[in-house]
Amino acid sequence: MVTQSTEASTTNGATPLIRLCGVTKVFLTDEVETHALSGIHLDIRIGEYVSIAGPSGCGKTTLLSILGLLDTPSGGSYSLKGNEVATLSFPERARIRNREIGFIFQSFNLIGDLTVFENVELPLTYRGMAAGERKSFATEALERVGMAHRAKHLPSQLSGGQQQRVAVARALAGNPAILLADEPTGNLDSRNGEAVMTLLGELHKSGATICMVTHDERFAQHADRTVHLFDGRVVEDRVAA
């Protein structure tokens, strides 16, 4: 049975940071319809730490791509901070991705010929920030993840766990409304995976809103709330005891 914590959350009067109502996603290939998401209802509130869990192919990454404005739903509605996403132009969507959403990827996605500092600073340049302001934001983000001492290193000079910490710093640097993490421990051994999960927990305690996709139930349990998907549907929405 689905435990809809979203129903309870709508009664407190506060507008959720994210609201999905009946969201569907259909992919068409060679005249074959693949229903990746079917009737997703989901609220995420400011300060929540939500994990999206489920087996491979259940629609987790598709859902995260829609939340991150990297893809659009085939049906239903998505509002972010009370604004209907469907009404946004492409430039507006790009601006929101840059300012409101911090992405943490499984494969880190660091640029190899840029230093750690330059990787963290890069998204801020698209905001037109002055150099001094960019330096302040990037330095603070690196300090929060314990990587300021590696600012001048290249990604190739770091371990996998260190690279993921830099990726987290890059996501944090612009003070986004929400962090979206797609299998953030997927390319790490168990020790470094636990270290990254501890870091995310610390960021959440300091006020960050986090939505994380994972297929690993151990890591899903780090979140305050777990939404389980199966065949593109929410089959359970459970708040941690």
Within a domain: 76: no
Is the residue at 21 inside a domain? no
The predicted-structure confidence for 78-88, as pLDDT tens digits, reads as follows 999 999 999 99
As for how many domains the chain has, the answer is 1
What pLDDT is stored for residue 38 in this prediction? 96
pLDDT given at position 71: 94
The reported pTM is 0.89
- Cα 196 from Cα 175, distance rounded (Å): 19
Q: Is the pLDDT of residue 12 over 70?
A: no
What pLDDT score was predicted for residue 206?
92
CA distance linking residue 177 with residue 103, whole number of Å: 11
Extract the tokens encoding 7: 């129903």
Instruction: Give the number of other Cβ atoms within 10 Å of residue 93's Cβ.
Output: 15
**Alpha-carbon separation of residue 112 from 118, 122, 153, 155, 156 (angstroms):** 10, 13, 10, 6, 7
Q: Which domain holds residue 117?
A: 47-71+88-239
In a domain, 94, yes or no: yes
Q: Does residue 67 surpass a pLDDT of 60?
A: yes
> In the prediction, which pLDDT does 15 show?
84
The CATH number for 188's domain is 3.40.50.300
